[in-house]
Chain A
Amino acid sequence: MGEPLLRLEGVWKRFGRDWVLRDVGLSLFPGEVVALLGPNGVGKTTLLRVAATLTRPQRGEVELFGRPARAVEAERAELLFLANPPAFYRHLTGEENLRSALFMGGRGVSAEEVAGALSWAGLPPARPVAAYSSGMRKRLALARIRLMGPRLLLLDEPETALDEAGRELLRQVIAAARERGGVLLATHDREFAGAVADREVVLS
């Protein structure tokens, strides 16, 4: 299977006195889609944030692309974390948000590519994100993933707020990400997880 894109070993994470993650281990290999399942508060989002290098665990090892998470800098261009709900600048339009995110992420894309991704997602380019519904914001996040093309995609409850057409776009994005690398997604929807994931990991 080759070297894992993501490897967590013996990860412990606490907030205050409460341990949210206790001795968690997980590997994600190229070509894999892994679903994280478990009830609310079990630490799925925290695990994704640890994997995304956004939160440091108190104990344990985290490796991305074969390197310790602390040493990862340029490789963050190959990583994309989609939070729930996805975050965008409300006073910028969908197009401006995408262009800004891509530029900051070191990806050079043309105006046509951005317009194409917005059209693919069924979004108006000139409307401020403040006027988007939550489903439209999710679609904008999918357009961003499509344009950035990360090797490692981390998704937190990606299916929420999406209608059936939006879920189809999500399935396309996940399939494309699997071709490039791997996907780790947290979800409560077992049916969705069963449809898109190769493996399920249940946190308890």
Chain B
Amino acid sequence: MRRVLALALRDLKLELRGKAGLFSALFFLGVVLLILGFALGPEREDLRRAAPGVLWVALAFAGSLLAGRAWAVEVENDTLDDLLLTPGSREWIYWGKFLFLWVLLLAVSVVLLVLVAGMFYLPLERGPAILLTLVLGATGYAAVATFYAGLVVRLSTAQLVLPILVFSVVVPVVLAAVRATTGLAGGAEIAEVVPWWKLLLVFDVIYLTASSLLFPFVIEG
């Protein structure tokens, strides 16, 4: 567990010092929100109705930019071999990389939530519940993205292949998260949203379990 935390913290430190990945994702988010804002027009009610979709479209696109960051640091520094030569079974490497990407996605999610609330009138009275939806969605997304990014890390076309692989598997998570957020933004009772949270939780558990078990086999050269 200590190695998992140490790996995630080291990668976060490298990401913040390197700046490129996180800042390009935030810049991309800003552009997406501006374009969607102009496209949907100035009417407050139109913007408010579209807010849950905007939130997840922007997060899914930014997530595709961030998906490869968990492994990009090893590729950029040629350090993948050193990581693979650390002693013990390699599941811990998956968990360390997952934790790094999860924290990164959550940080972006919080920024996004504030921006969407400001620009698209997403009601923040249900902020904690929307935040819970974001946490569950980010967990599933990070679980799949970490696994597939590790699978394609040695491919020269990794940047092109990765979003296709991730989106093809992560669609149920995004759809469930959009439905839960739409319900919360539209004033639905919490009880009506709970089934979507349960569905997200099931996907998260399945993705995390399968990915961590398969990871040692796919990461070998």
Same complex origin of A and B: yes
Chain B residues positioned under 8 Å from A76 (CB to CB): 85-88
Chain B residues positioned under 8 Å from A106 (CB to CB): 86-88
Expressed in whole angstroms, the Cα–Cα distance for A106 and B89 within the complex equals: 13
Chain B 60-93, CB within 8 Å of chain A: the 1/0 string?
0000000000000100111101111111110000
Tell which of A77, A81, A90, A105 touches B81, judged by Cβ atoms closer than 8 Å: A81
Expressed in whole angstroms, the Cα–Cα distance for A100 and B81 within the complex equals: 15
From residue 87 to 106 of chain A, which have CB atoms closer than 8 A to chain B?
87-92, 100-101, 103-106
Count contacts between A and B, CB distance < 8 Å: 66
Chain B residues positioned under 8 Å from A56 (CB to CB): 220-221
Chain A residues positioned under 8 Å from B221 (CB to CB): 49, 54-56
A52 at the interface (CB under 8 A from B): yes
Main secondary structure of the interface of B (DSSP, over half): helix
Expressed in whole angstroms, the Cα–Cα distance for A172 and B6 within the complex equals: 31
A79 at the interface (CB under 8 A from B): yes
- Cβ-defined contact, B83 with A104, below 8 A: yes
- Cβ-defined contact, A87 with B81, below 8 A: yes
Tell which of B6, B73, B78 touches A103, judged by Cβ atoms closer than 8 Å: B6
Chain B residue at minimal CB-CB distance from A78 = B87
Expressed in whole angstroms, the Cα–Cα distance for A23 and B84 within the complex equals: 26
Chain B 75-113, CB within 8 Å of chain A: the 1/0 string?
011110111111111000000000000000000000000
Chain B residues positioned under 8 Å from A112 (CB to CB): none
B40 at the interface (CB under 8 A from A): no
Task: With both chains docked as a complex, state the minimum distance between the C-beta of A106 and any C-beta of chain B, in angstroms.
Answer: 5
B14 at the interface (CB under 8 A from A): yes
Expressed in whole angstroms, the Cα–Cα distance for A75 and B85 within the complex equals: 10
Chain B 185-221, CB within 8 Å of chain A: the 1/0 string?
0000000000000000000000000000000000011
- Cβ-defined contact, B78 with A100, below 8 A: no
Expressed in whole angstroms, the Cα–Cα distance for A101 and B73 within the complex equals: 15
- How big is the B interface, by class? 20 to 34
B3 at the interface (CB under 8 A from A): yes
Expressed in whole angstroms, the Cα–Cα distance for A79 and B10 within the complex equals: 23
Expressed in whole angstroms, the Cα–Cα distance for A91 and B78 within the complex equals: 13
Chain B residue at minimal CB-CB distance from A81 = B85
Expressed in whole angstroms, the Cα–Cα distance for A100 and B120 within the complex equals: 43
- Cβ-defined contact, A104 with B7, below 8 A: yes
Interface-centre pick from B10, B73, B82 (highest chain A CB count, 10 A): B82
Chain A residues positioned under 8 Å from B88 (CB to CB): 73-74, 76, 106
A161 at the interface (CB under 8 A from B): no
Seen from chain B, the residues whose Cβ lies within 8 Å of a Cβ on chain A are 3, 6-7, 10, 13-14, 17-18, 73, 76-79, 81-89, 220-221
A-B contact pairs, 22 of them (CB 8 A): A54-B85, A54-B221, A56-B220, A73-B87, A75-B87, A83-B81, A87-B79, A87-B81, A87-B82, A88-B77, A89-B10, A89-B73, A89-B77, A90-B76, A90-B77, A91-B13, A91-B14, A91-B17, A92-B10, A92-B17, A104-B86, A106-B88
Which 3 residue pairs are nearest across A and B when measured between Cβ atoms? A77-B87, A87-B78, A91-B17
Contacts A101-B82, A103-B6 supplied; 4 other A-B pairs, CB < 8 Å: A55-B221, A73-B88, A100-B10, A106-B87
Seen from chain A, the residues whose Cβ lies within 8 Å of a Cβ on chain B are 49, 52-56, 73-77, 79-81, 83, 87-92, 100-101, 103-106
